[in-house]
Structure 1
């Protein structure tokens, strides 16, 4: 089984006012498909932290909703009338 290729980057933590931040290079913003002002989400993963452009909690809820809609399709059709 092939291991997924990782592209580790060394990013410095920078002081931003009373907070700290990491400046994401242009190519990482492009890979995330985000722009300045967009939200990103950080969630815990088995091997560390994951940064995504979509809310993983919302995605999980949508998956659950789609399962319910598939399972109860006939009931939902009747209720929609």
Structure 2
């Protein structure tokens, strides 16, 4: 478990992440990550859950409509 410290940054509040946690999540200064609500609390991920859902739907359509997509590609 890691502990984050909140600090004042101008008119905002920021969190300080330990270097070990950043290395584990493969994050660097300026990178984006996503926080989502779950029944167990908050989840921090480095991938966009909305984009992942769109890709899942796209793959499903490509699988079901393979012939149509092949004709469109001509």
Instruction: Provide TM-score, normalisation by structure 1.
Output: 0.83
Aligned equivalent of 1:47: 40
State which of 62, 67, 80 in structure 1 corresponds to 2:73: 80
Which consecutive segments of 4 or more residues in structure 1 shift more than 2 A? Answer: none
- Cα distance per residue 1:49-79 (max 9 Å; x no partner): 1111111111111111011111111110011
> Shift of the alpha carbon at 1:9?
2.2
- For 1:9 and 1:33, how far apart are their aligned partners in 2? 15
Q: Which has the higher strand share?
A: 2
Aligned equivalent of 1:30: 23
- For 1:37 and 1:59, how far apart are their aligned partners in 2? 22
Pairs aligned (count): 74
Secondary structure of the corresponding residue to residue 9 of structure 1: coil
Instruction: Provide TM-score, normalisation by structure 2.
Output: 0.89
